[in-house]
């Protein structure tokens, strides 16, 4: 049985040969029924043998040149044997069903490849680019780094790049599997193959078309499908020995009854040919690639890139999940969480009173001119609350301290605690008590004040922290529900910060204050307790990702290092894909086990029937090839991967 590891010949030659083989077979059967055996029937059966057996014979000869006996050779031998004992119809039927099952297998395997290759069709062939003071339509492959591409609403984005003009929402489902549109503003990364849904935008080209996340995704899946699982490698290595064993067993079934028990030569030979047919492990050999390739293809369609069958095997047997904190369990960037006023502290998770809103408006006006992450957190918070931010005038940056400017006739200062302490700001001590408590927990604080003549008044403290991602809070529950024994958080943060985050998420074990080499040591330690999956950003976690039993990179739609280091890449920055991955891998393992048990059971049943119950060759042929098609179709179910509740 030819597996999908070989390149399929171009065109539809195999399908045409199969159809012609069927036509000759039907014609021969009709002529034989009407006029009996004649040179017409012999000619028509010969045509059926030639067309239906062409691909199998070609593959068998290619294997013999490599001094390998495979299943294709067994099928050809069985068909020739059937003709010798006067059963040309059964031999031709065997070759036709064998050829037809190969066509179906190729169709099934091609579906797994096409599911990914079709993504490249999502990328447009041409792009509208700014050149020489105007715009020109060019092929995507001709775009140069740094050029500016114009994308209108409803159009597909042609390249990976950065938004330099306009705001929009982008449908990234082709890349990440996430159906909800993603908001994009100036500075946001965008990716080829995604769809610009709302505003017209301009994009600066950051990567050539062949280096885009979409192109790399297709290359990665193609490489993954070429890598075989341990089960597939074992079955393929055992195929030759099994084939030789079947041939020797067939000779025994033919010679022993004939020579020692007085059975008719033709009857013994017919039984031997039947045994050769039903004992061939076609379904057994094809069951693994049919299952593994479908599972890899199905996962890739929602943005889970599994780099090979061996990694799919590993994902099905994970005992411990270790997660990096920053960028994985948390957003990876600061967000404004509280505002400390002389009257008390207000959280941004609830409504802000008038005084807190006024403070945030003033702070956002000053920080609007800065690209510092803490400044962006303040501006983002004001935008999120839909506050009108006034314009700051007479803006002046104070090196090492912060900045000051006039906002709505009031002169404000924003900057570090040290600046306010050294300036002996009025009201400093009241705010500092609460600020120091939060700073001890790892929060960052920015101070806001106003000048009243020569006096500096400390008006508020803006508190920033790396916030927990909402989906992280149910991740641990989902992993435990799937049978994961322990969830471990690894972080370089202070122990107090890590404890607070771990307690809120429900982490089983917290390791804090770690350097990359410390994470590596902990992974080695955890591996003594079971099989470990490490999840990180693929850059500073690279050593731990490489050492774990299974390394998973989060949100790597534009990260080359993550693509290269991890065994599995989650194209979308979505924690909920982690339990989906484990569930999918375990489902694939169950389907593979079903296929292997079913295939082996059919072989045993048919062999017993052929030896003890004179199984007719046509029934053996149908049972053998039918089981091959069934395991293929069963494996194809894995192309559909659901997001059902875990």
Whether the pLDDT of residue 413 is over 90: the answer is yes
Q: What are the distances in angstroms from CA 455 to CA 303, 342, 412?
A: 57, 17, 12
- Choose among 395, 328, 369, 367: nearest CA to 464: 367
- Choose among 119, 476, 482, 158: nearest CA to 303: 119
Greater model confidence, 216 or 621 = 621
pTM of the model: 0.65
Extract the tokens encoding 400: 């090492």
What Rg, from alpha-carbon coordinates, does the chain have? 34
Extract the tokens encoding 313: 């095997």
* Residue 121 DSSP class: G
* Cβ atoms of 214 and 175 closer than 8 Å: yes
Task: Report residue 154: phi and psi, to 5°.
Answer: 90, -10
* Cβ atoms of 124 and 194 closer than 8 Å: no
pLDDT (tens digit per residue) in 264-322: 777 788 788 778 777 877 777 777 777 887 888 788 777 788 877 778 888 988 999 99
**Percent helix / strand / coil, the chain, rounded to 5:** 55, 20, 25
pLDDT (tens digit per residue) in 458-506: 999 999 887 788 788 888 889 999 999 999 998 877 777 788 888 888 8
Binned at pLDDT 50, 70 and 90, residue 365 comes out as very high
Interval 602-623 mean pLDDT: 82
CA 508/CA 28 separation, integer angstroms: 71
Q: How many CB atoms lie within 10 A of CB 20?
A: 16
Domain span(s) for CATH 3.40.50.1000 in the chain:
304-330+468-581
Interval 17-38 mean pLDDT: 80
Domain 124-209 has CATH 2.70.150.10: yes
Lowest average pLDDT, out of 376-380, 491-495, 547-551, goes to: 491-495
Strand 550-553, strand 568-570: pairing: parallel
* pLDDT confidence of residue 224: 46
Among 25-29, 74-78, 516-520, the range with the most confident prediction by mean pLDDT is 25-29
Q: Which residue(s) pair with 451 in the sheet?
A: 456
Residue 466 designated active-site? no
Cα torsion 290, 291, 295, 297 to 10°: value is 0
Whether the pLDDT of residue 106 is over 80: the answer is no
Q: In what order do the strands lie in the sheet with 532-536?
A: 304-306, 568-570, 550-553, 532-536, 320-324, 486-490, 509-511
CA 369/CA 41 separation, integer angstroms: 90
Extract the tokens encoding 222: 């193609």
Three-state secondary structure call for residue 53: helix
Three-state secondary structure call for residue 108: helix
Interval 148-174 mean pLDDT: 84
* pLDDT confidence of residue 542: 67
CB under 8 Å to 116, separation ≥6 — which residues?
217, 218, 221, 222, 297, 300, 301
Q: Where are the alpha helices (DSSP H) in 385-534?
A: 417-422, 428-440, 472-481, 495-505, 516-526
The percentage of the chain sitting over the pLDDT mark of 90, rounded to a whole number, equals 16
Extract the tokens encoding 131: 């050149």
* pLDDT confidence of residue 235: 53
* Cβ atoms of 301 and 644 closer than 8 Å: no
Interval 31-44 mean pLDDT: 77
Task: Report residue 157: phi and psi, to 5°.
Answer: -80, 125
Extract the tokens encoding 19: 């159809």
CA 96/CA 56 separation, integer angstroms: 10
Task: Report residue 47: phi and psi, to 5°.
Answer: -60, -40
In the set 313, 324, 549, 567, the catalytic residue is: 324
Q: What are the distances in angstroms from CA 45 to CA 11, 27, 102, 269?
A: 26, 9, 21, 20
Lowest average pLDDT, out of 155-159, 225-229, 340-344, goes to: 225-229
The percentage of the chain sitting over the pLDDT mark of 70, rounded to a whole number, equals 82
* Cβ atoms of 572 and 177 closer than 8 Å: yes
Return the biggest CA–CA distance within the chain. 122
* Cβ atoms of 605 and 624 closer than 8 Å: no
Binned at pLDDT 50, 70 and 90, residue 9 comes out as very low
Interval 310-337 mean pLDDT: 84
DSSP string computed for 302-356: TTEEE--HHHHHHHTT--EEEEEIIIIIEEEEEEEEEEEETTEEEETTS---HHH
* pLDDT confidence of residue 312: 85
CA 306/CA 304 separation, integer angstroms: 6
pLDDT (tens digit per residue) in 449-471: 999 888 899 999 999 887 788 78
Residue 526: exposure state from Cβ atoms within 10 A (0-12, 13-18, ≥19): buried
Torsion-angle region of 94 (φ positive above 0: left; ψ -120 to 50: alpha; else: beta): alpha
CA 540/CA 84 separation, integer angstroms: 68
Interval 75-81 mean pLDDT: 75
- What 3 state SS string does 22-38 have? HHHHHHHHHHHHHHCCC
Average of per-residue pLDDT values in the chain: 79
Q: In what order do the strands lie in the sheet with 344-347?
A: 344-347, 330-341, 455-468, 444-452, 410-415, 402-407, 392-398
CA 85/CA 276 separation, integer angstroms: 14
* pLDDT confidence of residue 339: 94
* pLDDT confidence of residue 188: 84
* Residue 512 DSSP class: -
* Residue 555 DSSP class: S
CA 55/CA 71 separation, integer angstroms: 12
Greater model confidence, 578 or 542 = 578
Whether the pLDDT of residue 192 is over 60: the answer is yes
Whether the pLDDT of residue 107 is over 80: the answer is no
Token pair 């017993």: residue? 608
* pLDDT confidence of residue 121: 59
Domain span(s) for CATH 3.40.1110.10 in the chain:
331-467
DSSP string computed for 253-314: HHHHHHHHS---HHHHHHHHHHHHHHH--HHHHHHHHHHHHHHHHHHHTTTEEE--HHHHHH
* Residue 9 DSSP class: P
- Choose among 535, 637, 60, 186: nearest CA to 328: 535
CA 206/CA 218 separation, integer angstroms: 19
* pLDDT confidence of residue 428: 92
Torsion-angle region of 241 (φ positive above 0: left; ψ -120 to 50: alpha; else: beta): alpha
Whether the pLDDT of residue 595 is over 80: the answer is yes
* pLDDT confidence of residue 414: 93
CATH architecture of 304-330+468-581: 3-Layer(aba) Sandwich (3.40)
Whether the pLDDT of residue 640 is over 80: the answer is no
* Cβ atoms of 56 and 78 closer than 8 Å: no
331-467 CATH:
3.40.1110.10
Greater model confidence, 548 or 119 = 548
CA 162/CA 208 separation, integer angstroms: 13
pLDDT (tens digit per residue) in 562-594: 566 678 888 767 788 899 999 999 999 899 899
CA 440/CA 391 separation, integer angstroms: 34
Q: What angle do CA 479, 485, 489 make, to 5 degrees?
A: 70
Three-state secondary structure call for residue 92: helix
Extract the tokens encoding 507: 């982490």
* pLDDT confidence of residue 209: 75
Greater model confidence, 485 or 37 = 485
- Choose among 357, 294, 276: nearest CA to 620: 276
Kindly state the helix (H) or strand (E) to which residue 149 belongs, with its residue range.
strand 148-151
* pLDDT confidence of residue 410: 92
Greater model confidence, 419 or 632 = 419
pLDDT (tens digit per residue) in 109-139: 565 455 455 555 556 788 889 988 888 998 8
């Amino acid at each position: 049985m030819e597996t999908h590891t070989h390149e399929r010949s171009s065109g539809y030659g195999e399908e045409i040969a199969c159809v012609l083989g069927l036509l000759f077979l039907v014609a021969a059967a009709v002529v034989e029924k009407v006029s009996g055996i004649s040179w017409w029937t012999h000619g028509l059966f010969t045509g059926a043998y030639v067309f239906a057996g062409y691909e199998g014979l070609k593959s068998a000869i290619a294997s013999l040149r490599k001094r390998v006996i495979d299943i294709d050779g067994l099928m050809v031998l069985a068909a020739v044997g059937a003709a010798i004992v006067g059963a040309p119809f059964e031999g031709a039927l065997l070759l036709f069903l064998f050829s037809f099952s190969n066509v179906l297998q190729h169709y099934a395997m091609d579906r797994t490849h096409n599911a990914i290759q079709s993504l490249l069709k999502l990328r447009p062939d041409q792009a509208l680019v700014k050149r020489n003071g105007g715009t020109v339509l060019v092929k995507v492959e001709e775009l140069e780094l740094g050029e500016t591409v114009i994308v209108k609403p409803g159009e597909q984005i042609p390249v990976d790049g950065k938004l330099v003009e306009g705001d929009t929402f982008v449908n990234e489902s082709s890349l990440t599997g996430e159906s909800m549109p993603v908001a994009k503003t100036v500075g946001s990364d965008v990716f080829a193959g995604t769809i610009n849904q709302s505003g017209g935008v301009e994009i600066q080209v950051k990567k050539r078309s062949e280096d885009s996340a979409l192109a790399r995704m297709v290359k990665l899946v193609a490489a993954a499908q070429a890598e075989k699982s341990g089960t597939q490698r074992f079955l393929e290595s055992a195929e030759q020995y099994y084939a030789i064993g079947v041939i020797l067993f067939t000779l025994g079934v033919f010679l022993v009854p004939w020579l020692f028990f007085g059975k008719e030569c033709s009857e013994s030979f017919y039984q031997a040919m039947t045994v050769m047919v039903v004992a061939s492990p076609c379904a057994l050999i094809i069951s693994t690639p049919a299952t593994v390739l479908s599972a890899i293809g199905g996962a890739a369609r929602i943005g889970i890139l599994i780099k090979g069958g061996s990694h799919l095997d590993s994902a099905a047997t994970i005992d411990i999940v270790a997660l990096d904190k920053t960028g994985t369990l948390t957003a990876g960037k600061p967000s404004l969480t509280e505002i400390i006023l002389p009257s008390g502290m207000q959280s941004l998770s609830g409504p802000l009173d008038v005084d807190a809103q006024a403070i945030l408006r003033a702070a956002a006006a000053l920080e609007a001119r800065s690209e510092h992450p803490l400044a962006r957190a303040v501006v983002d918070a004001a935008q999120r609350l839909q506050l009108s931010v006034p314009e700051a005038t007479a803006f002046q940056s104070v090196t090492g301290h912060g900045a000051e400017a006039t906002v709505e006739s009031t002169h404000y200062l924003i900057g570090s605690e040290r600046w306010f302490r050294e300036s002996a700001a009025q009201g400093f001590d009241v705010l500092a008590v609460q600020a120091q408590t939060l700073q001890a927990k790892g929060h960052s604080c920015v101070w806001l004040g106003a000048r009243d003549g020569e006096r500096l008044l400390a008006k508020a403290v803006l508190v920033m922290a790396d916030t927990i991602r909402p989906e992280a809070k149910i991740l641990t529950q989902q992993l435990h529900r799937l049978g994961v024994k322990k969830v471990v958080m690894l972080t370089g943060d202070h122990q107090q910060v890590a404890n607070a985050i771990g307690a809120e998420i429900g982490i089983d074990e917290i390791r804090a204050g770690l350097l990359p080499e410390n994470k590596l040591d902990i992974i080695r330690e955890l591996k003594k307790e079971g099989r470990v999956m490490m999840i990180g950003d693929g850059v500073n976690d690279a050593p731990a990702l490489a050492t774990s039993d299974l390394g998973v990179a989060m949100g790597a739609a534009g990260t080359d290092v993550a693509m290269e280091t991890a065994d599995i890449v989650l194209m979308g920055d979505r924690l909920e894909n982690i339990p989906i991955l484990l569930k999918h891998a375990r489902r694939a393992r169950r389907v593979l086990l079903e296929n292997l048990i079913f295939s082996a059971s059919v072989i045993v049943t048919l062999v017993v029937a052929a030896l003890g119950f004179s199984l007719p060759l046509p029934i053996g042929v149908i049972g053998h090839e039918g089981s091959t098609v069934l395991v293929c179709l069963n494996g194809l179910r894995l192309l559909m991967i659901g997001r059902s509740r875990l």
